[in-house]
Amino acid sequence: MNTSSRRRLQGISLFVVFLALGAAILDYQGRSIDRDSGDFFRTSAHEYRDLKFINKAQVSFSSDNADEAQDAINNIMDTYAKQRIRRQSEGNLGAYLFTVHQADLQDVIGELRRVGSVRAYTEQIDTALVNLDFDSESARLASYERELNDLDKVRMPSEQQNARKETLHRLIQTSRNNLDKLRESESVLLYITLSPIQTNAAWQSNALDFIKIFLKWLLILSLIFILVTLGSRLLMYFLSMIGLRDSSGAGADYGYYSGYGDYTRHGKKSRGKRKVKRIYKDKGSPEDKKDSEN
């Protein structure tokens, strides 16, 4: 292999390596986005925020053994949960939403600490429901229902009466929801998020995953380059067999005119002008002519 061919091969090899590195980075980032905890917890977090409970608690839980942690949380739900709302797990992530008795909350936290680390713990109270009283809310609901019953007896209600009926329907629904939540005043809506602990082993695992992805792309791109090179050579060989010529001169004599010197082998007119050598005889002086006649 000559020097130019070796340099060309080295340049192509470097190009394939950098291309494989870029593809590996994009592939790894795409997989990281799929595993992103923010996307995983988004739906459950919105559900926890929108549910109306007087007492709420959120626990951020992490463990270096995801299987053991998930089994522990499942056991907690089976033992303490009054109402199961969400049980979601994927890989080493988990989102769990359920209700427990207020008295059992600290026992649940203690069970979690036995198998992992409680990074954050938050309790909150819905002040809009705290100011409500069960008896007064029940009386309010009864008043709304009586007024709606009276309006329903009107055969031809006015527009104002119809608008009031729609308002009463909304108020009745709100009061019923408030009463349901007040009946559950001794319960706590518990939201547990499970995520892995980032250890040295985790970083080594991530680095190993990236190396595997890089080697995969390097192999794929190398095979593509080899196939393209072989395909181009087979194509040139096929073209030479059918009488076509490439720029290197291989193949049949395409467009060659052997009978004309001012045409090239490709049948195109030569750019240079033909050189013609002319020889002129010297006429000489008059004295030379006389000498020649004598």
Strand order from edge to edge, sheet including 93-101:
83-90, 93-101, 187-196, 55-63, 117-125
Task: Round to whole Å and give the CA distance between 10 and 89.
Answer: 48
Q: What is the mean pLDDT of residues 117-136?
A: 79
pLDDT of residue 128: 67
Share the mean pLDDT of the chain: 78
Q: Is the pLDDT of residue 284 over 70?
A: no
pLDDT of residue 132: 72
Q: What is the mean pLDDT of residues 202-216?
A: 78
Q: What is the mean pLDDT of residues 98-114?
A: 91
User: Which residue, 255, 283, 71, is CA-closest to 292?
Assistant: 283
Q: What is the pLDDT of residues 173-203, one digit of tens each?
A: 988 887 877 777 778 999 999 988 765 555 6
Mapped to the 3 state alphabet, what secondary structure does 124-143 carry? EECHHHHCCCHHHHHHHHHH
Q: What is the pLDDT of residues 55-102, one digit of tens each?
A: 899 999 998 888 899 999 999 999 999 899 999 988 888 999 999 998
CA within 13 Å, CB half, 38: 2
Task: Round to whole Å and give the CA distance between 64 and 104.
Answer: 26
Whole-prediction pTM: 0.48
Q: Classify residue 41 by burial, with Cβ atoms within 10 Å: 0-12, 13-18, 19+.
A: buried
